[in-house]
Each structure stands twice: as C-alpha cells, then as structure tokens.
A and B are shown apart, each in its own frame.
Chain A
C-alpha cells in the first residue's frame, strides 16, 4: 500500500531554534516529493524534489531527498513566529497520483 508518513505530528519550539521535519514514503513508481506550508486555508508550495542528494534552499528553509532510504527532510533555521503552520509532504508517482502525509504542525513561540 502506498503511503507517506510525516513526523513528528506536532512540534513546539522557541524563536531562533532550528527544526527538522521528516517525511518517509513507500510509493511505487516514485516521481517527485513535494513540501507545502499550510497557514490558513490553502497550502503554499515550498519545494519539489526529484533527485537524491541535491539540496533545495529558499531563505531559511532547505530540503533534501534520499531516494535510497525513501525519505526527505525539511529544515528551518532561525525559526520565527511566522513559520508556525502545518507542513505537508506529498509524493507523486509516474501515474500522476499523489499521496499526502497528514502534516507536521509547527508552533514557534516568542
């Protein structure tokens, strides 16, 4: 059965901390892994990863994919209160089916 598992389910940190969010998957015919940030209603796209070992970076956020071990991590350095959100991981296969994790809820307190 294809599935995506995110951990931890929730996380509370102080401003300035660094956090690592995990996403592991078992999806046949993998095509890509996507990270989203959901603050209010609609998730916003962060990264799409297709190749192992190549880090994608955007400001304080970075992500990397390990296709051998079937996981990805999302790092956020120097966290700010505006980083508080649910972070979703999704994996697509070559048949254009998407499998979502249930998300990691991050709360950053001042």
Chain B
C-alpha cells in the first residue's frame, strides 16, 4: 500500500550510541518531515525537507541530522544518543495543499 514507511517500530539505545531512523514514501511527495512526540506534548518538528537535496532545521534539531538524497527517502540520524531523546518519532510527507501522510511511528528509548 502506498504511504510512509518507518523502521524500526521500536528501539532501545544506550547513551552515546548512534542509530538511523528510516523513512520512505512512495507517493512522490516533495515535502517530508520528522517530528517527535513526548508524553502530553504536541508534535515538535525536528527537520524537514522541501525536495531532494534540500533540508532545513525545525524547532528541535539539536542532536539530530538528516539527509535527502532521493525524493523517496528521508533518514533521521542520532549521533550520540541521550536520555532526552527518548520519544516517539514520526515521519510524514505532503504534496502541495494535499493532506499529510504520517508513518506509524518509531518508539525510541535511550537508557
């Protein structure tokens, strides 16, 4: 089914470890976003991209990096995991004025 695919669904990291959260969409959407959601809070934008080769910081980019080498993929990298990065991460895509399509989320715990 067309949509946004996030992997993994769950992950536990030790402090200082690195990992990449994968996000892929097959709808040829230009806009892609990474959000994090902490308990009782709204979604906070980490990074976004308006097209292949273009990325920009969102509200909470520290501790993260992204790349957008293709239209389909928008991976999010955590270089030195910290407990403050324990959260649920959502990837989303959008095309023009059409609605958002979200992935089902990645639950990350840093211990």
Chain A contact residues, CB within 8 Å of chain B: 1, 6, 9-10, 36, 38, 41-45, 86, 88, 90, 96-103, 105
Q: Which residues of B contact A101 (CB under 8 A)?
A: 99
A1 touches B1 (CB 8 A): yes
B48 touches A41 (CB 8 A): yes
A99 touches B104 (CB 8 A): yes
Q: Which residues of B contact A96 (CB under 8 A)?
A: 88, 105, 107
| Interface residues as binary, B76-111 with A (CB distance below 8 Å gives 1, 0 otherwise) | 000000000000101010000111111011010000
Which partner residue on chain B sits nearest A44 by CB separation? B42
Interface check B35, CB cutoff 8 A: yes
Residue from B33, B41, B100 in contact with A103 in the complex, judged by beta carbons closer than 8 Å:
B100
A42 touches B44 (CB 8 A): yes
Q: Which residues of A contact B1 (CB under 8 A)?
A: 1
Q: Which residues of A contact B9 (CB under 8 A)?
A: 97
* A interface, over-half SS: strand
* Interchain CA distance A101-B101 in the complex, whole Å: 7
Name 12 interchain pairs, CB-CB below 8 A, sorted by A.
A41-B33, A41-B58, A42-B43, A42-B44, A43-B35, A43-B42, A45-B41, A86-B100, A88-B100, A98-B102, A102-B100, A103-B99
Which partner residue on chain B sits nearest A101 by CB separation? B99
Chain B contact residues, CB within 8 Å of chain A: 1, 9, 33, 35, 41-45, 48, 58-59, 88, 90, 92, 97-102, 104-105, 107
B101 touches A102 (CB 8 A): yes
A97 touches B105 (CB 8 A): yes
Chain A nearest CB: distance from B86 CB in Å? 13
Chain B nearest CB: distance from A99 CB in Å? 7
Q: Which residues of B contact A105 (CB under 8 A)?
A: 97, 99
Chain B nearest CB: distance from A11 CB in Å? 13
Q: Which residues of A contact B88 (CB under 8 A)?
A: 96, 98
Chain A nearest CB: distance from B42 CB in Å? 4
Which partner residue on chain A sits nearest B104 by CB separation? A97
Q: Which residues of B contact A45 (CB under 8 A)?
A: 41-43
Q: Which residues of B contact A6 (CB under 8 A)?
A: 99
